[in-house]
Every structure is written in structure tokens, then in C-alpha cells.
Amino acid sequence: MGYVFDFKEAVQYDAWFSQPGNRHCFDLEIKLTLDLMDLRSGQRILDIGCGTGDLALGLAETG
């Protein structure tokens, strides 16, 4: 198995993405993820232990 992130690193990850200058990276990550997933109306996403949850929240905010 690969590297396991702990709570301290999760907090640092969220703090980095919350910086105004870094927010564009997160916005791009959301756009690219949606483009790759090619979701159809009515489909759902299941996020199980995939990081801090920010990506799932960002995807949910897009509708």
C-alpha cells in the first residue's frame, strides 16, 4: 500500500487549498474531475476515505 496521510497532513492540505492564490488549483481539480467522470443526470458519487472530503463537497456544489 502507498503512503497513508494523517490528520495533521489533512489539515495542512485543506489550509493550502484555502489560500486565495491556491484556490484556482482546487477549482481546476473540480473541473477536470467532472470532465473525466462524464456524469449523467441522476448519477451519484460515492466518496469513501478519499482525502479530506473537499473534492466531494466541491463536486456536490456544482450540482
Is there a domain that residue 2 lies in?
A: no
* Close Cβ partners of 23 (under 8 Å, ≥ 6 residues apart): 17
Q: Across the 63 residues of the chain, what is the mean pLDDT of every consecutive 10-residue run?
A: 77 86 86 87 81 79 76
Among residues 47, 55, 58, 51, which one has the least CA distance to residue 6? 51
As for how many domains the chain has, the answer is: 1
The pTM assigned to this predicted structure is 0.60
Q: What range defines the domain where residue 18 resides?
A: 7-61
Distance between CA atoms of 31 and 25, rounded to whole angstroms? Answer: 10
Is there a domain that residue 25 lies in?
A: yes
Is there a domain that residue 1 lies in?
A: no
